[in-house]
């Protein structure tokens, strides 16, 4: 799973381990007490090894392994290997001689490798042939250049090794629609630069040498100089106004376009992408990264071009006025650019660290604010304040490190440029006093003014290093998402039948969210068109996962799911979603009116159709009692609804869609018995002619199902009608039914 260092490979014979016989190797970064350490997990067909030591680099550049401890466990005594996740760490536990033993402790950076190690080590324990998936090999998961893990295993591209030039050239295509406005913006900046260069000459060399000097070409023409100075100032003001107006006009459009691009890139990805990421982090990426990219390309690049031209023109003018003085004054500039290069490398890392802190902070806030009721219920305000303080302090530390670094390096850069100014005054003053090369006081003032005009763009280049580092990180995050391949992909020639049968088949389906942890294992069943199937099982048995596979939110690893006899992989996603509606145990209402939330399943539905669906779901009565009825706004900060009310709106949404296949995933879990019965009566009429899959803990809701399937540890443990399953006195369903009935009787509830 991980490449062993050369020093460790060389030390294996002395430890009694044959490197040629090893099948698996995995690195973990903590010892069993949780302290940082260098631990290697190794396995061959007879034993598991745990080596603790340290890799040391010799003077000749070679590595050597200093071993501190070695543990060996025969595979014959190993039962089960399992990875147990915690908040930021995880452990690998193993059943050894009937006891559960802590095998390894590690942080989340090692999580994927340890999962793969456990997955393949269990195959060795069972004596199976070790056929390693090529995508699990180190060369398929890590960049050979920098050693970083690929963000997307399906796309062997490392964002850390992509050159900035490639990123910027690719991004420039986004701005092609605005090239006209950007051209005018650039022209206004050029005009600002030209007037900026003319102004010092008018108030310096021209005024002193051509007007005040009695031998000048325009001796005594003070009014002419004043007129030219005022005209130049007015022209500069007009160019500045045009520049600001265009910038304001283009800014909103381009920021909107960038946010749309990022959001569309995120939206097209599969559900698995979102389960591995914090909502707050994605929000930060959409909001902050779009602004960062805009500021660099629209506020930065045009000024960079103008400043480069300005510096080039000024250097030519300085060399024309007095070459030797210009060379002396520009001596610190190469050192300045070297410092800028060093500055970029440091700031890129600090910007990445700041963004990570900002994402974690946003994720924490989104989590706590949406779960404030739970925080209050368990009186955990002080605990959450401490957590907030930790996230806030981490973000503040990264911000401070970035600003201190930028300020310190910027100060040193400023000192270098100030040194050039001192050199110009010293050498230039000496030349004026000696009359060297026709040097005059007016020319010296012009040289000093032009030198200061060169230093200003150079300071801008320093700021551009900061912007460039931030933008580079933002672009890498953007293209990481844009180039990511959805786990669920529609075939180019996907079928789009006008009518689709409603029969459902699961044919030897297996699935795992993470490799080595199967949630569904060789499940097969079928539901005829118009049939009703009930799925029961303990929490975590895999019931809801079956619904996700039917809707093709995920694709099975093995086997096939079919609708109307057609594999769902052969159907277009739009066809699948058009024919299926789900009412999940996790109800979600978007910010908006109740009318809009019900219409979400069918935006073109009429008001009467919405009311009819709400009546079927038992939601109409409570909706009309709300202040604004169907136009009452719900969601964060608006009308608060109970769990049962939210569930009934969710059911109305599914009823309005009128699908061929209806999935009820704990659809009545949040309702009292009386309300549930009313909705069951309404649903009994709704499901006529529709294929219905009902997932429930409350077994009484499944009494009308044509067939029941009991899921246990991801497998089909039992199946049959309710009467047939209750007849099995030692069966799982009989036991669940008996326990529920007894609990209801003790609570005084008769069903």
Per-residue pLDDT tens digits for 373-424: 677 776 778 888 888 888 888 888 888 888 888 788 777 877 777 787 788 7
Report the alpha-carbon angle 193-194-200, nearest 5: 95
Both 707 and 586 in one domain: the answer is yes
Position 465 confidence tier, pLDDT thresholds 50, 70, 90: confident
In a domain, 612, yes or no: yes
In a domain, 694, yes or no: yes
pLDDT at residue 734 in the model: 86
Of 438, 458, 479, which residue constitutes the final position of a domain? 438
Higher-confidence residue of 143 and 291: namely 291
Give the sign of the dihedral formed by CA 724, CA 726, CA 732, CA 736: positive
In Å, what is the CA distance from 505 to each residue of 528, 560, 562, 565, 578?
8, 8, 5, 8, 18
Both 543 and 406 in one domain: the answer is no
Pairing of strands 36-43, 504-514: unpaired
pLDDT of 58 over the 70 cut: no
Q: Which CATH number is 168's domain given?
A: 1.20.1560.10
Higher-confidence residue of 542 and 639: namely 542
In a domain, 493, yes or no: no
Output the six-digit token pair for 253.
Answer: 């459009």
Position 749 confidence tier, pLDDT thresholds 50, 70, 90: low
Of 262, 108, 99, nearest in space to 171 by CA: 262
Both 556 and 657 in one domain: the answer is yes
Average pLDDT of the segment spanning 677-692 = 71
Average pLDDT of the segment spanning 446-466 = 75
Least confident stretch, 210-224, 311-325, 707-721:
210-224
Both 109 and 168 in one domain: the answer is no
Least confident stretch, 101-110, 481-490, 592-601:
481-490
Both 555 and 668 in one domain: the answer is yes
pLDDT at residue 671 in the model: 63
Secondary structure tally for the chain: helices H, strands E: 24, 19
Both 552 and 676 in one domain: the answer is yes
| Domain of residue 511, residue span | 504-747
pLDDT of 560 over the 90 cut: yes
Q: Are 548 and 542 in contact (CB under 8 A)?
A: no
Both 315 and 328 in one domain: the answer is no
Least confident stretch, 108-122, 194-208, 484-498, 580-594:
194-208
pLDDT at residue 110 in the model: 81
Both 630 and 729 in one domain: the answer is yes
In a domain, 453, yes or no: no
In a domain, 353, yes or no: yes
pLDDT at residue 146 in the model: 57
% of the chain beyond a pLDDT of 70: 83
Higher-confidence residue of 140 and 578: namely 578
As a whole number, the mean pLDDT across the chain is: 79
Both 264 and 338 in one domain: the answer is no
pLDDT at residue 156 in the model: 57
In a domain, 496, yes or no: no
Higher-confidence residue of 276 and 363: namely 363
pLDDT at residue 567 in the model: 92
In Å, what is the CA distance from 394 to each residue of 17, 160, 400, 452?
44, 23, 10, 39
In a domain, 498, yes or no: no
Q: Which CATH number is 709's domain given?
A: 3.40.50.300
Tally of domains within the chain:
4
* CA end-to-end distance (rounded Å), the chain: 54
Both 80 and 100 in one domain: the answer is yes
Alpha helix segments (H runs only) across 136-285: 138-141, 164-172, 179-201, 222-267, 271-275, 279-284
Output the six-digit token pair for 43.
Answer: 């396995």
Average pLDDT of the segment spanning 282-304 = 73
* Cα dihedral 5, 9, 14, 20 in deg (nearest 10): 160
pLDDT of 562 over the 90 cut: yes
Q: Which CATH number is 68's domain given?
A: 2.30.29.30
Of 178, 173, 29, nearest in space to 114 by CA: 29
Of 307, 322, 337, which residue constitutes the final position of a domain? 322
Output the six-digit token pair for 727.
Answer: 């007849």
Both 298 and 406 in one domain: the answer is no
As beta bridge partners, residue 692 has: 532, 662
In a domain, 491, yes or no: no
Both 303 and 329 in one domain: the answer is no
Contacts of 25 (CB under 8 A, 6+ apart): 1, 2, 3, 4, 40, 41, 42, 43
pLDDT at residue 676 in the model: 67
Average pLDDT of the segment spanning 592-620 = 88
pTM reported for the whole predicted model: 0.64
Output the six-digit token pair for 317.
Answer: 């003018």
Gap between the Cα atoms of 331 and 351, Å rounded: 31
pLDDT at residue 668 in the model: 67
Of 322, 344, 367, which residue constitutes the final position of a domain? 322
């Amino acid at each position: 799973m991980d490449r062993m260092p050369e020093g460790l490979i060389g030390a294996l014979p002395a430890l009694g381990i044959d490197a040629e016989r090893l099948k698996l190797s995995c690195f973990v970064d903590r010892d069993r007490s949780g302290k940082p350490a260098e631990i290697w997990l190794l396995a061959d067909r007879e034993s598991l090894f745990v080596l603790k030591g340290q890799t040391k680099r010799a003077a000749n550049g070679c590595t050597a392994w200093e071993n501190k401890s070695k543990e060996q466990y025969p595979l014959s005594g190993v039962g089960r290997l399992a990875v147990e996740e915690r908040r930021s760490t995880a452990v690998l536990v193993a059943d050894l001689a009937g006891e559960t033993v802590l095998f390894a402790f590690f942080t989340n950076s090692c999580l994927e490798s340890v999962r793969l190690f456990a997955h393949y080590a269990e195959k060795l324990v069972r004596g199976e042939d070790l056929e390693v998936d090529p995508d699990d090999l180190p060369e398929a998961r890590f960049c050979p250049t920098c050693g970083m893990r690929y963000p997307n295993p399906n796309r062997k591209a490392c964002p850390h090794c992509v050159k900035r030039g490639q990123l910027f050239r690719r991004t420039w295509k986004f701005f092609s629609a605005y090239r006209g406005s950007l051209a005018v913006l650039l022209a206004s900046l050029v005009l600002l630069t030209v007037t900026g260069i003319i102004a010092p000459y008018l108030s310096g060399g021209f005024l002193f040498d051509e007007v005040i000097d009695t031998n000048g070409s325009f001796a005594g023409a003070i009014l002419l100089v004043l007129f030219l100075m005022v005209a130049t100032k007015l022209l500069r003001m007009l160019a500045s106004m045009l520049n600001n107006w265009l910038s304001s006009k283009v800014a909103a459009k381009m920021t909107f376009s960038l946010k749309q691009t990022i959001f569309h890139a995120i939206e097209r990805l599969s559900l698995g992408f979102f389960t591995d990421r914090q909502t707050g982090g994605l929000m930060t990426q959409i909001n902050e990264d779009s602004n960062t990219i805009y500021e660099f390309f629209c506020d930065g690049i045009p000024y960079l071009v103008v400043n480069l031209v300005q510096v080039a023109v000024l250097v030519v003018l300085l060399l024309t006025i007095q070459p030797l003085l210009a060379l002396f004054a520009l001596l610190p500039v190469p050192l300045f650019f070297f410092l800028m290069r060093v500055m970029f490398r440091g700031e890129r890392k600090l910007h990445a660290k700041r963004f990570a802190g900002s994402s974690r902070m946003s994720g924490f806030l989104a989590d706590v604010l949406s779960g404030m009721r739970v925080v209050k219920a368990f009186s955990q305000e002080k605990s959450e304040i401490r957590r907030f303080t930790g996230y806030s302090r981490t973000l503040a530390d990264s911000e401070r490190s970035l600003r201190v670094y930028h300020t310190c390096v910027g100060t040193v850069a400023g000192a270098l440029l100030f040194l050039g100014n001192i050199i110009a005054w010293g050498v230039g003053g000496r030349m004026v006093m000696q009359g060297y090369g026709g040097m005059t006081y007016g020319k010296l003032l012009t040289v000093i003014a032009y030198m200061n005009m060169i230093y200003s763009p150079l300071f801008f280049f320093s700021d551009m290093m900061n912007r460039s580092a931030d933008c580079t990180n933002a672009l890498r995050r953007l293209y990481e998402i844009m180039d990511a391949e959805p786990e669920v992909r529609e075939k180019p020639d996907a079928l789009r039948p006008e009518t689709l049968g409603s029969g459902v088949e699961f044919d030897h389906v297996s699935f795992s969210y993470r490799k080595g942890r199967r949630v569904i294992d060789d499940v097969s069943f079928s539901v005829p068109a118009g049939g009703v199937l009930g799925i029961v099982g303990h929490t975590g048995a895999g019931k809801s996962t079956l619904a996700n596979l039917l809707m093709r939110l995920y694709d099975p690893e093995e086997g096939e799911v079919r609708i109307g006899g057609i594999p769902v992989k052969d159907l277009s996603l739009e066809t699948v979603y058009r024919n299926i509606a789900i009412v999940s145990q996790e109800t979600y209402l978007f910010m908006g009116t109740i009318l809009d939330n019900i219409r979400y399943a069918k935006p073109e539905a009429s008001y009467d159709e919405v009311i009819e669906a709400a009546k079927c779901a038992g939601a109409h009565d409570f909706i009309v009692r709300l202040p604004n009825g169907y136009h009452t706004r719900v969601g964060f900060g608006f009308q608060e609804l109970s769990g049962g009310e939210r569930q009934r709106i969710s059911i109305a949404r599914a009823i309005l869609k009128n699908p061929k296949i209806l999935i009820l995933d704990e659809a009545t879990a949040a309702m009292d018995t009386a309300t549930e019965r009313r909705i069951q009566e309404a649903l009994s009429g709704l499901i006529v002619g529709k294929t219905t899959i009902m997932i429930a803990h409350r077994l009484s809701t499944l009494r009308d199902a044509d067939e029941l399937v009991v899921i246990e540890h991801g497998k089909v443990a039992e199946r049959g009608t309710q009467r047939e399953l209750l007849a099995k006195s030692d069966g799982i369903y009989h036991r669940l039914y008996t326990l529920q009935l007894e609990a209801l009787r003790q609570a005084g509830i008769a069903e």
